[in-house]
Structure 1
Amino acid sequence: MAYRTIGLLLLVTDPGRSTTRWIASIAFTGGSGGLSAVLADDWIPYIRAKGWLSEPMAFFLGKAETVSSLICYYGLPYTFVMFASVYHPTLLGNGRLRAWYPWALLVPILLSFAFPPAGGDPIPYRYVSLWSIPYICGGIGLLIHATAIEKNSFLRKTRMLTSLAAAPTLLFALFTLYVLPGYFGLYEWWRYNAWVISFTMAVIIVSSMRYGFMGLQISIRNQKLDYTLRAITSGTSILNHAIKNDVGKIRLFGDKIKSEAGTAEPEQLIEDVNVILNASQHIYDMIYRIQGQTQEVGLQLERLSPAELLDECLTMLEPSLRGVELVKELRYPGVIWGDRVQLTEVLSNVLMNAVEAMPLGGRLSVRLSESKRNIVIEIKDTGSGMEKKQLKRIFDPFYTTKSGKKLNFGLGLSYSYHVIQKHKGTMTVHSKPGAGTSVFINFSKKKGAGAV
């Protein structure tokens, strides 16, 4: 019952994620073993003792017990290894592998029905152990490896907790369900699974409250964010935020032109005027994009150079960079599919946040690189950083750490997060008090928004 409750909760909070669906499947298959035991040990004897057990009911309950038992024996290793495979960040990156992988793993399970069980055994233990042991051990190995290669410190902690909750339970189930009855004739050890399940429940409850378990806390937070953004991206709030940013750029460059009008070179004046024209065009594009929208703003994809976008955004922020050392490393010369207007807004938001975090000056690092599967933008400042409580809420709409600024609406990062999500990318923030803040924006190289 506990497993099914966890699976149902995860499924309700985020049914769109494949990891969530496989977690729910683990809960269902694992819980089916408990249901089979309850039918055999409690329900059927109770109904028989009461004299209610008719022949049709006995047949139905007997079949239900058998089917529930088989679902657990055959389904638990499969759903676990599938969850671990999907949860792993790189294993199923290839589209062809993702397509045939689940079906290939089903073949040994289907072949199990061709082997008759020995004596009164419920399944052919010797044959089933040939694939169930590798499935469970392989799944545990994938969880541990996913934790070891995770670069994001927050995600590494959640992966570690996921492994801590899942690995002991599945390893114990491996022995009690397959090894001990199949090779040693010990059939009753499955009753001790309750102790391991109690440990797992403790890990789940503690980690869900503090860090999130298998994406539960993140799913609830993302769902809340999505619902709130649907309300605010209908027009006014996001538009006001965009206008505020661009009007600030226009004022900065207007003051610069005014102060340098008598001494600046014509070429420099033309560049400054172009920045003002680009800012005003961006306001117009945002107004045009939002006009008539009753839901969230859609994407208008085109081939973009992220290096050029970063250069344009840095140029527009030039007056704000006085006293700031700029370190720029743009190592990815390629292109992505993206919405120019909205990605410009995102990068401008993140860069402006970084600059505003260093009022007394500092170092702004802007890096663009690529890995085997991702295109990565890193924007790092040497400002005061953030506490954990602030870091947990930075993507919440209307939350801001800049309470002293009259025109700050607390929408920049929530909007930016939403736009990157729509581009099939990810946005994460690392920060510690006194150590500055780093924002990582990842675009997947897979086919879809953000990919070429």
Structure 2
Amino acid sequence: MLFVLIGLWTVGLLLLVTDPKRPMTRWLSAIAFTGGSGGLSAVIADHVVPYAFDRQWLTEPAALLLSKAELICSLTCYYGLPYTFLMFAIHYYPDYPLWDRYGKRFIPWLLLIPPALSFAFEPKPGDPIPYHYVIFWATPYIIAGIAMLIHSVLRERNSFLRRSRLLTTTAAAPTLFFALFTLYVLPAFFQMYELWRYNAWVIAFTLAVIIGSSLRYGFMGLQISIQNQKLDYTLRAITSGTSILNHAIKNDVGKIRLFGEKIKTEAADGRTSPEQVVEDIEVIMAASQHIYDMLYRIQGQTQEVELHLEELHPAELLHECLHMLAPQLSSANVKEQYAYQGLLIGDRAQLTEVWTNVLTNALEAMPRGGDLTVRLTETKRKIVVEIKDSGSGMEKSQLKRVFDPFYTTKSGKKLNFGLGLSYCYNIVQKHKGTMNIHSKPGQGTSVFMQFPKTKRLPAQKELD
């Protein structure tokens, strides 16, 4: 069990050192420390006590101290492991950032009540813990945690994030499921007390998954970087600044026309109100200002785009993009989920163009209406924007070429140049971010854009 102790506590320590402020990381490290405490208990009983006895160091005070240390470590594992595992699963669940803040505050304390009450029960003679009570809260805690991890994998639509969740579930779920039987079920109902020693083999599997996935992730990260550089080279070789500018102007002129027609129709029907007219004109003015900003920032006949960085609220900017598309949203069921309310360092004009373009693509994929979801979340180092539609989706052959310049699936539209997603990819990459698309025929399309978290605005505010 020395291997279990060293392995788990090393993982827990590394997690705390690398990311101590994130609750999810702290709970994951807590799982490692509580599980390792069981290993320490076994090390004290199997190695430390016999070693001290052989050398006649086991005085009565020393024996009492070691006995108490063994008991504390054992109870930490028995009572702490189910609790910390369930708390980690709750924080890891995709919808947790959207939970009510009061629920987030009280859930840890409410779930702590059953483990704390375990100290009020006396174990049967020969039993290390009161199994007749512990089994009734430890079992649902572990089962619920496993179920939440599995469900988080099934719900994830981003192929890259799904892989991460799958690896986490593969590492944690089998180990905790095995521990459920060896630590609680088998001792409680069949008086089989020593099977917990086999946990070392399952924990070795967990550590192998963690190490292997870390190495694999690094290799895949290099592969993705190479692909991105190749795509960026292709984009630079083919596209020009004037083509991108044409695309941007086309989108904004479309907005001006839509809101102009809206004002005209409402005026003809006598349904105008000063407040609504002012609001619609503000949208038209914002679109015209955006055209001016794009003209100013794209350099002549080249493809180079300058970023004018500033601190902005992505949740507010996404909402503004939806507002500017209001006439096109009449047939769509829009869901806005902004779990992240912090800042993003970026170019307001360029990000407005990117998000408006992706939103327009989503709406065009649902000509008869459907569900449009705009979600803003965060990970350890990234701000994640997801725009999801319930349209017809894309085939694999289309998905492979979706970022290629001049490639388009909208051949019936005269003003479509096939530059929208190429431009979006270029701008997201200039923000040091990544852009991925997940789509299947009949299941809609999800566009994921990840941006790095930056605590302050860089001294160099303009990036080429």
Instruction: Confirm or deny a common fold (TM above 0.5).
Output: yes
Counterpart secondary structure, 1:16 = coil
The TM-score, its normalising length taken from structure 1, stands at: 0.60
- Does 1:116 pair with 2:122? yes
> 1-side partners of 2:79 and 2:206: how far apart?
22
Partner of 2:100: 94
TM-superposition CA deviations, 1:359-412 (whole Å, max 9, x none): xxxx9869992379989535999997659xx9xxxxxxxxxxxxxxxxx9x973
Equivalent runs, 1:431-446 vs 2, <5 Å: 439-441=447-449
Q: Which amino acid aligns with 1:139?
A: G
| 1:375-386 superposed matches below 5 A | 376-377=386-387
Alignment of 1:181-192 (within 5 A): 181-192=187-198
1:147 is aligned to: 153
Matches of 1:35 and 1:147 in 2, distance apart? Answer: 33
Larger RCO (CA within 8 A; separation ≥ 6): 2
Alignment of 1:274-293 (within 5 A): 276-279=291-294
From 13, 20, 27, the counterpart of 2:25: 20
In 1: Cα distance, 2:35 partner to 2:335 partner: 49
Is the 8 Å Cα contact of residues 346 and 416 (structure 1) preserved in structure 2? no
What displacement does 1:188 show? 1.0
Alignment equivalent of 1:80, drawn from 78, 82, 85:
85
Is the contact made by 2:332 and 2:372 (CA closer than 8 Å) also made in structure 1?
Answer: yes
The match for 1:449 is none
The one-letter amino acid of 2:29's match is A
The percentage of counterpart residues that share the same residue type is: 43
1:184-203 to 2 correspondences below 5 Å: 184-203=190-209
Match in the other structure for 1:29: 34
1:317-328 aligned within 5 A: none
Query: In the aligned structure 1, how far is the partner of 2:248 from the partner of 2:373?
Result: 33
Give the Cα–Cα distance (whole angstroms) in 2 for the partners of residues 81 and 154 of structure 1.
24
* 8 Å contact kept, 1:246–1:280: no
Residues of 2 paired with 1:200 and 1:194: CA distance? 10
Aligned-partner SS, 1:298 = strand
Q: Name the SS of the counterpart of 1:186 in structure 2.
A: coil
Match of 2:211 in 1: 205
CA distance in 1, matches of 2:186, 2:246: 76
Q: CA deviation at 1:344?
A: 3.2
Alignment partners' CA distance in 1, 2:54 and 2:130: 32
Show the 5 A alignment for 1:161-240: 161-211=167-217
Distance in 2, Cα, partners of 1:442 & 1:368: 22
Cα-to-partner distance string for 1:213-233 (whole Å, 9 max, x where unaligned): xxxx99xxxxxxxxxxxxxxx
Match of 2:53 among 41, 48, 52: 48
SS in 2 for 1:120: coil
Residue 52 of structure 1 deviates from its aligned partner by 2.6
Question: Which position in structure 2 is the counterpart of 1:266?
Answer: none
Q: Return closer, same or farther for 1:97/1:300 CA change in 2, 3 Å cut-off.
A: closer
Structure 2: where are the runs of 5+ without partners? 1-5, 222-235, 250-283, 299-304, 378-384, 405-422, 452-464
Q: Classify 1:120/1:23 alpha carbon distance in 2 versus 1 (closer, same or farther; 3 Å).
A: same
CA distance in 1, matches of 2:136, 2:170: 25
1:183 shift after superposition: 2.2
Residue 329 of structure 1, CA deviation: 8.4
CA contact (8 A) 1:77 1:136 kept: yes
Offset of residue 104 of structure 1: 0.7
Aligned residue pairs, count: 348
Q: Give the distance between the partners of 2:20 and 2:46, measured in 1 at CA.
A: 34
Amino acid at match of 1:22: W
| 1:168, distance to aligned residue in structure 2 (A) | 1.8
* Pair 339,442 (structure 1): closer, same or farther in 2 beyond 3 Å: closer
